[in-house]
Amino acid sequence: MVSVVPVAGPYEPKALQHPKKPLLRRPTVAGAIRKSNDADLSDELLSTPTKRARVTFNPTVEEKVMETYSAKGKSVEAIRAEVRRAIELHKNGESVEYDALKELFAPADKGDPSDYDEEDEEAAAIARVDLKTYLVVLTNNASLLKGCASLVRGVLTCDWVGRDTGFVKAYIQFLGHLASAQGSYVGLVLDMLVSYFHGVRISSGRLPGYPDVSRNQLSSRIHIALKHVLSVIPAAGAALSQILTSKFPFADESKNAHMTYINNLMYLLGYAPHLKSDIFALITDRLVKIDVQMQVDLDDLDDEVAAAIVHAMSLNSSANTDGGRSDESDIDSVTSGDGLDEDSKRIKEIQSNVEKMDAILDLLFATYKPYFLDPHSHEATEMFDTLLAHFQKIILPTYRSRHTQFLLFHFSQTADYLIDQFAGTCAQLAFDSSRPAVLRQSSAAYLASFVARGVHVQPHVVRTVFELIGSKLDEIRTENEVTCRGPNLRRYGTFYAMTQALLYIFCFRWRDLLIADDVFDEDDESTPFRGQDLHWVPNIKEILFRTIHSKLNPLKICSPPIVAEFAKIAKHLEFMQVYPLLETNKRVRLSQYSSAQGSGAIRDSGLSSSDESWHQLDAYFPFDPYQLPVSKKWVEGDYVQWRGIPGLNQDDDDTEDETEEKVDVDLESEDTATDNDDE
């Protein structure tokens, strides 16, 4: 290791050198900041201990004294004059010397070192020292670089990250001075640094004539440079956010590309915490897009094929946990497709997207977790506010998002006040008449699914939400029942979405709607619920009765599988009998009440308006069983699985049950099938 120590004369320890400036002259603020930044750069690049002395000596370092700070080939004064002349001539329209100056920073030739003789190697060594001197001169003349964009681009594209520590330090100082002196180049500097977020090639640390640099060191140097630029130009954060967004990997790029980029974003947060909201919003936005496309692709496949993909991923994740292939192999795992038919290619692409989604979510769960170790801390409150903002702006408006929302599902259940906050937000959005109908209906679906599926949602919360929705339904019913001609999703979409929410909550959490004095043994199959005199919380039964039997006729609009399951459970518990109404509804044609083809409801169907299902709500509940095999561990303890009711499946002798059998899919069979697939 060689340390070059430039001095003005014979070597003296720094502490003994005589000052050349008056001792009483105060340093400028800019000078103090620059010295502080330069010191920080030295510390980070050389990896010195956190607590260090002002002067340290390393016995393994060879001290080499130079009489003046000059290059072997050219003096500093000669290079300074050359640079100034080239820039001035360029501004006057003569670019020969200017172009030669740019060429100095062209990427190094990575040819076979054995092709060089001693003279070539000596010339290359001189050129390397000269290049650093040129860089130092450009740094000191950064104010002259206005109008020299091509030269700046040339310097920014040089092979700097894999050179020796001295050159890297000089280069980072150049970036800081350039960004400070010429604000128009800040975007170019940031763009160059962020481009390395996609991954630094190991060949960048194998430059001829320089010591090898590891990939971790290369990545570290990128972040040291970016940290330095942000410290010099704090206002560069806004420009950096835009560049981070523009350079985020496309949805069809590999898992490795996404994980490399996102890991660099997480590293960036360590020294730029003010970008936390922007970075998490960016990741969430792109994750939702992958999530939606993945779900669309899975829905287009046969159920058996989709299940086989998830099962294969589970096996792969187990193999990796047991010491299977490393992440390095993911670079080459993108489907080549040379010997595959179109269906096989498509299945491999879908599996790649599922793996990508799974890996990103697993990383996000791990990243958010430290903030919620103490869910009552300021950090947890602040981070949950960030999650809620992303939910309202990104997740909620995106129909068919399947897994991203489980970040809210998991972390909101870390504390009772967070449960109240998330449920309250969903309720507020569902009741806000100023919002589009589709968002209000989606909010109602989130509220119902969260209350129904959250293990840590306490019974009093279930009752409060039930009563809150019920009172809102009474308001809507009172306002519209007089003029209502019949069921109409377009006119009363919010009413139907909230009714469906109540039906769904009842199916999963009816036990929490009972008065606490009612105690029974559900595990005893010999004592079915039929005939028991269950006592319900006041107003529960009355709310549903008024809603269901109103002129708005919600059981005709709500999703048939949910209606069928509610009818079955309500009858069995002797809570309510709705089968006669269902029989009557068979003769009701929804098309006669619909004034337009579009309903604005939560639907994604290609059916014609003459089809009854076009005028009915979709059975969309965002917290249906989680399917991603690696990241599912984060939510397993938060999730209410479907629980059957003893004696319910034995009621096959009534005419009402014949009606039930005509329903294609009910909640129990659908949910049980999904849960079994997860296992």
Write the single-letter amino acid at 253.
Answer: E
- C-beta separation of 513 from 465 below 8 A: no
Phi and psi at residue 245, to the nearest 5°: -65, -45
Q: Crossing angle, helix 255-269 and helix 276-300, to 10 degrees? A: 160
Tell me the average pLDDT across 330-337: 40
* Mean pLDDT value across the chain: 80
Task: Output the six-digit token pair for 163.
Answer: 């050179």
Task: Output the six-digit token pair for 567.
Answer: 């009818």
Tell me the average pLDDT across 425-448: 94
pLDDT of residue 107: 77
What would the pLDDT profile of 527-576 be if each residue is shown by its tens digit?
A: 555 546 788 999 999 999 999 999 999 999 999 999 999 999 999 999 99
Rounded Cα distance, 298 and 350, in Å: 7
Looking at per-residue pLDDT, the higher value among 638 and 649 belongs to 638
Nearest CA among 138, 158, 143 for reference residue 98: 138
Q: Is 45's pLDDT higher than 70?
A: no
3-state secondary structure of 350: helix
Looking at per-residue pLDDT, the higher value among 456 and 111 belongs to 456
Q: Is 20's pLDDT higher than 70?
A: no
- C-beta separation of 137 from 83 below 8 A: yes
Task: Fill in the DSSP letter of residue 514.
Answer: B
Degrees, nearest 5: CA angle 326-328-330: 90
CB under 8 Å to 330, separation ≥6 — which residues? 254, 255, 256
Phi and psi at residue 90, to the nearest 5°: -60, -40
pLDDT of residue 529: 54
> Residue 517: pLDDT band by 50, 70, 90 thresholds?
low
CB under 8 Å to 295, separation ≥6 — which residues? 400, 401, 402
End-to-end CA distance of the chain: 58
3-state secondary structure of 193: helix
> Residue 600: pLDDT band by 50, 70, 90 thresholds?
very low
pLDDT of residue 346: 83
Task: Output the six-digit token pair for 97.
Answer: 């010397």
Beta strands 62-66 and 2-6 are parallel
Q: Crossing angle, helix 165-181 and helix 29-46, to 10 degrees? A: 150
3-state secondary structure of 637: helix
Task: Output the six-digit token pair for 197.
Answer: 């977020």
Tell me the average pLDDT across 96-125: 67
With a pLDDT cut of 90, the percent of the chain lying above it is 56
Sign, CA dihedral 286-250-202-207, equals negative
> Tokens 């059998």 belong to which residue?
661
Domain map (residue ranges) of the chain:
66-247, 448-678
Rounded Cα distance, 5 and 11, in Å: 9
Rounded Cα distance, 151 and 156, in Å: 9
pLDDT of residue 534: 84
What would the pLDDT profile of 47-104 be if each residue is shown by its tens digit?
A: 533 443 344 444 444 444 333 334 456 788 999 999 999 999 999 999 999 999 999 8
Instruction: With 0.75 as the threshold, say if the pTM is over it.
Output: yes
Nearest CA among 150, 152, 156 for reference residue 172: 156
Task: Fill in the DSSP letter of residue 591.
Answer: G
Task: Output the six-digit token pair for 90.
Answer: 């360029």
Mean pLDDT is highest, among 200-209, 578-587, 648-657, for: 578-587
pLDDT of residue 29: 39
CB under 8 Å to 573, separation ≥6 — which residues? 510, 529, 534, 645
Task: Output the six-digit token pair for 105.
Answer: 């920073």
CB under 8 Å to 55, separation ≥6 — which residues? 13, 14, 15
3-state secondary structure of 47: coil
With a pLDDT cut of 70, the percent of the chain lying above it is 70
